[in-house]
Amino acid sequence: MKTSQGKTAVITGAASGFGLETARLAAQRGMNVVMADVQADALERAAADVRALGAEVLPFRLDVSRSEEVEALGAAARSRFGAPHIVFNNAGVSAGGLMWEYSAKDWEWIVGVNLMGVAHGIRVFTPMMLEAAAQDPGYEGHVVNTASMAGLVNMPNTGSYNATKSAVVAMSETLHQDLALVTSQVRCSVLCPYFVPTGIMASERNRPDAVSEDRPLTASQRIAKAMGEKAVSSARVTAAQVAQAVLDAVSAGRFYIYSHPHALQSVQARMEDILQGRNPGDPFKERPQIGQSLRRALRGG
């Protein structure tokens, strides 16, 4: 994408983390910004912050897991600004624990947000962008989907999160290929961040009542939450740096976006296991003390 001035970005999960920082950068580049989030009070504050940077802002409260709400977002964005040029399907939640300890409601929540939220964004906005491209040879569009390094490396005790993020990588790679079949004006990228200080470890604050569980966390879920909070809080790469990487990738037309390139060593090890037909290797090979601690905790010894 050559220029940003006067164009429009639609961002989900826009009230905090990567979404808010990307909204700020988009505003500074002269873009209109449609900011969508499930947390109304945080969205109101974030929209005011971005509006103060001089941008035209449309805040929109929604739950991305609900198809009709994403459709309403699309209609509102188009009515206000026309077809968007950047769509950042970024909203996400986190959950951990042993695979067999997730309830049906746990799965419904995390799949609804992390996977179906992206699917709804693709379904609603891509046709809009393709239509704009067909009408204007100068139109440029770009879809960015937030996955995770967990979509490329399957660490233990985070199975539902891994499953949804792996699916987002697969969807994004396929979208890249599908778009190339029909246009050169609309492209896509997938964001695969590692641990970055955001509010994702507090995802439960916005969990809808319909998919809530009135029960205490299991031991494995408490451990996953504690480990995740520690990793996120001690991370050095900021959400603002990730947002910059997102917009740089859009400008360059680059598909894969990484916050921590060194983490690709684990991806390479996984790929080698697959190619050699080996059983999955020890995910804690480089830091065995973490694996030992986790096994002791889960085995009660």
What domains are there in the chain, each with its CATH number?
A: 8-262 (3.40.50.720)
Q: Can you give the pLDDT at residue 95?
A: 92
Q: Can you give the pLDDT at residue 301?
A: 57
Whether residue 145 contacts residue 188, with contact meaning beta carbons closer than 8 Å, is answered with: yes
Q: Can you give the pLDDT at residue 110?
A: 97
Whether residue 189 contacts residue 255, with contact meaning beta carbons closer than 8 Å, is answered with: yes
Rounded CA gap, 32 and 201, in Å?
A: 29
Which of 4, 52, 9, 61 is closest to 30 using CA atoms? 4
Question: For 263-275, how does the pLDDT look when each residue is reduced to its tens digit (9 = 90+)?
Answer: 999 999 999 999 9
User: pLDDT-derived band of residue 286, with 50, 70 and 90 as boundaries?
Assistant: confident
* 130 pLDDT above the threshold of 70: yes
Quickly tell me which residue has 């996955």 as its tokens.
Answer: 147
Mean pLDDT of 129-152: 98
Question: For 75-91, how does the pLDDT look when each residue is reduced to its tens digit (9 = 90+)?
Answer: 999 999 999 999 999 99
Q: Can you give the pLDDT at residue 43?
A: 98
Phi, psi of 234 (to 5 degrees): -95, 0
Q: How many CB atoms lie within 10 A of CB 203?
A: 18
Whether residue 191 contacts residue 144, with contact meaning beta carbons closer than 8 Å, is answered with: yes
Average pLDDT score, the chain: 96
Percentage of the chain exceeding pLDDT 90:
89
Mean pLDDT of 288-297: 91
**Dihedral over Cα of 27, 29, 32, 33: its sign:** negative
Whether residue 85 contacts residue 7, with contact meaning beta carbons closer than 8 Å, is answered with: yes
